[in-house]
Amino acid sequence: MTAPPTYSSHATATLEHARMLDHGDAFPTLRPRFHVPLDAEGREIAYFSGNSLGLQPRATEAELLTELDTWARLAVDGHFDGPHPWMRTHEEVAAPLARIVGALPSEVVAMNTLTVNLHLLLVSFYRPEGRRRKIIIEEKAFPSDQYAVMSQLRFHGCDPEHDLIELPLSEDGLFDRQRALDLIHLYRDEAAMLLLGGVNYYNGQLFDIPALIDAAHAAGMVAGLDLAHAAGNVPLHLHEWNADFAVWCSYKYLNSGPGGTAACFVHARHEHAPDLPRFSGWWGHDPATRFAMPRQFMPAPGADGWQLSNPAVLPMAALRASLALFEEAGMPALRAKSLRLTGWLEQLLRAGQRDTWSIITPADPEQRGCQLSIRLHERGRACFDHLHRQGIVCDWREPDVIRAAPVPMYNTFEDVWRLADAFHTFWRDSAV
Ligand SMILES: *Cc1c(COP(=O)(O)O)cnc(C)c1O
């Protein structure tokens, strides 16, 4: 079967149909390459929390054991010898990461964790001057971004009450594109930076990133991105879009494991900007002379020059295992599958629409990734717990939102059917 799935007819909302869609899909699932947790009855759970913590690739263990073996057999010589010499650990993952975010390999480096990278790049790119001091972020940005930005403002003697400008959510719970463009224009003389979450973690909205970057640049601002919920989820073209910098973690859609090594992007046009301040460490020093340990810091070319420490080899090995799957699948195929899965979830949910809940994620597939956020107007937590008892793992966000992310790499139409079926059963049973 190669025809696109038909969604709307209620008759297609069966388990058999879901299995048929799985069987005939143009992109065979990579689910067998992952560990899927089992529920109490020994049945694979339907996991919709890949936007919080991606599942573990089965290959991760072997990659980790390889490094433990290298350490055991070679000790310090593992830096130069063994299957993945540690000296080059970060270089091995740069190209696959760059393909995921649409960058040149030299523009990307894997290091640290997301919030650490955000601070490091704010040190370089947030440079308040005269009246131009404000930072624009979206309302309800992820708290870590909020805290990081407020602390940077204070560090520069600014007042977050004044100088943190929030792009407000509209009535419908979404960000309005025109309103964002107007806000950027309004602060054209006062804002130093636009810092945007590529996909908003709460409502799942994908911004029109290139338009907002262009507007920020036209208004004299630096444009930075937090791609925690975008990397590995939606198509990105950071180089072409001229983003100044971006940061993202790898344990969500990139399946690198809890606390996995994050990454960042610095556009090539900043590579030779000697006046950019940066906090430096030895691993960011030009590798040609790193071990001569000269007194003067000479940054390595590209994003590598922002590194501080030698990489954490074990998390990097886990990241490598996951990136191999992205290399195998490719983002275009993953995105196409993602549109089919999330589209079907939306159709199945809407087929049983009640006024007790609403989907707050945009209906336009171009304005979202795989995540759907469902606002429960009543009994939200009970609904979430009901799903959990059925072996359906979503994510609960106070006060009233269930987030569900069908991840194209390992979720199936059957998972999607299970979620929609259990969801409707809950409301049917509670409507008595
Ligand atoms: C997940 C997430 C983070 C987490 O930050 P860590 O430094 O990895 O703990 C930060 N920002 C956003 C937008 C996120 O979605």
63: tokens are: 């990659």
Indicate if ligand 1 lies below 6 Å from the C-beta of 426.
Answer: no
Is residue 121's pLDDT more than 60? yes
Please state, in angstroms and rounded to a whole number, the distance separating the CA atoms of residues 205 and 136. Answer: 17
Question: How remote is the CA of residue 201 from the centroid of ligand 1, in Å?
Answer: 9
Burial of residue 127, with CB atoms counted within 10 A of its CB: 0-12 exposed, 13-18 middle, 19 or more buried? middle
Mean pLDDT of the chain: 94
Is residue 6's pLDDT more than 90? no
Indicate if ligand 1 lies below 6 Å from the C-beta of 21.
Answer: no
pLDDT value of position 4: 42
Is residue 430's pLDDT more than 90? no
Indicate if ligand 1 lies below 6 Å from the C-beta of 384.
Answer: no
Is residue 1's pLDDT more than 60? no
pLDDT value of position 431: 75
| DSSP tag of 106 | G
Domain 63-326 class in CATH: alpha beta
**Nearest protein CA to atom 4 of ligand 1, as residue:** 114
262 Cα nearest atom in ligand 1: 8
Measuring CA to CA, which residue among 397, 346, 407, 53 is closest to residue 202? 397
The DSSP secondary structure of 24-37, one letter per residue, reads: H-SS---GGGEE--
| DSSP tag of 75 | G
Q: Where in the chain is the domain with CATH 3.40.640.10?
A: 63-326
Q: Please report which confidence band the pLDDT of residue 3 belongs to, taking 50, 70 and 90 as the band edges.
A: very low
Q: What is the mean pLDDT of residues 228-247?
A: 98
Measuring CA to CA, which residue among 208, 213, 215, 223 is closest to residue 270? 223
The answer to whether 323 and 97 have CB atoms below 8 angstroms apart is: yes
Measuring CA to CA, which residue among 13, 25, 97 is closest to residue 331? 97
Question: How remote is the CA of residue 251 from the centroid of ligand 1, in Å?
Answer: 10
Indicate if ligand 1 lies below 6 Å from the C-beta of 107.
Answer: no
Query: Helices 177-186 and 209-218: crossing angle, nearest 10°?
Result: 20
Indicate if ligand 1 lies below 6 Å from the C-beta of 201.
Answer: yes
Q: The pTM is what?
A: 0.95
**Nearest protein CA to atom 15 of ligand 1, as residue:** 228
pLDDT value of position 152: 98
Which amino acid is located at 194 in the chain? L
Percent of the chain residues topping a pLDDT of 90? 90
- Please report, for residues 154, 160, 175, 232, the alpha-carbon distance to residue 343 in angstroms, rounded to integers and kept in the order given: 43, 40, 21, 18
Q: Please report which confidence band the pLDDT of residue 7 belongs to, taking 50, 70 and 90 as the band edges.
A: very low
Q: What is the mean pLDDT of residues 335-357?
A: 97
How do residues 376-392 score in pLDDT, each as one tens digit? 999 999 999 999 999 99
Question: How remote is the CA of residue 144 from the centroid of ligand 1, in Å?
Answer: 6
The best mutation among 53, 248, 249 to test binding of ligand 1, ranked by most ligand atoms within 8 Å of the C-beta, falls on 249
Q: What is the mean pLDDT of residues 151-180?
A: 95
pLDDT value of position 342: 98
pLDDT value of position 432: 61
Q: What is the edge-to-edge ordering of all strands in the sheet holding 134-138?
A: 108-110, 263-266, 245-248, 222-226, 191-197, 134-138, 164-167
Q: Please report which confidence band the pLDDT of residue 5 belongs to, taking 50, 70 and 90 as the band edges.
A: very low
Is residue 10's pLDDT more than 80? no
Measuring CA to CA, which residue among 37, 46, 48, 55 is closest to residue 396? 48
Indicate if ligand 1 lies below 6 Å from the C-beta of 115.
Answer: yes
Helix then strand then coil, in percent of the chain rounded to 5, is: 45, 15, 40
Question: How remote is the CA of residue 303 from the centroid of ligand 1, in Å?
Answer: 20
Cα-Cα end-to-end distance for the chain: 40
Question: How remote is the CA of residue 269 from the centroid of ligand 1, in Å?
Answer: 26
Q: Please report which confidence band the pLDDT of residue 313 belongs to, taking 50, 70 and 90 as the band edges.
A: very high
226 Cα nearest atom in ligand 1: 13
pLDDT value of position 407: 98
Is residue 225's pLDDT more than 50? yes
Is residue 348's pLDDT more than 80? yes
Is residue 393's pLDDT more than 80? yes
Measuring CA to CA, which residue among 59, 38, 103, 4 is closest to residue 255? 59
Indicate if ligand 1 lies below 6 Å from the C-beta of 260.
Answer: no
Q: What is the mean pLDDT of residues 112-118?
A: 98
pLDDT value of position 12: 64
pLDDT value of position 271: 86
Q: Please report which confidence band the pLDDT of residue 2 belongs to, taking 50, 70 and 90 as the band edges.
A: very low
- CB within 8 Å of 294: residues ≥ 6 apart: none
Indicate if ligand 1 lies below 6 Å from the C-beta of 197.
Answer: yes
Indicate if ligand 1 lies below 6 Å from the C-beta of 145.
Answer: yes
Indicate if ligand 1 lies below 6 Å from the C-beta of 229.
Answer: yes
Q: Where in the chain is the domain with CATH 3.90.1150.10?
A: 10-35+330-431
Ordered alpha helix ranges (H), 7-113:
15-24, 60-74, 89-101
115 Cα nearest atom in ligand 1: 7
The fold of 10-35+330-431 is: Aspartate Aminotransferase, domain 1 (3.90.1150)
pLDDT value of position 378: 95
Q: What is the mean pLDDT of residues 262-283?
A: 91
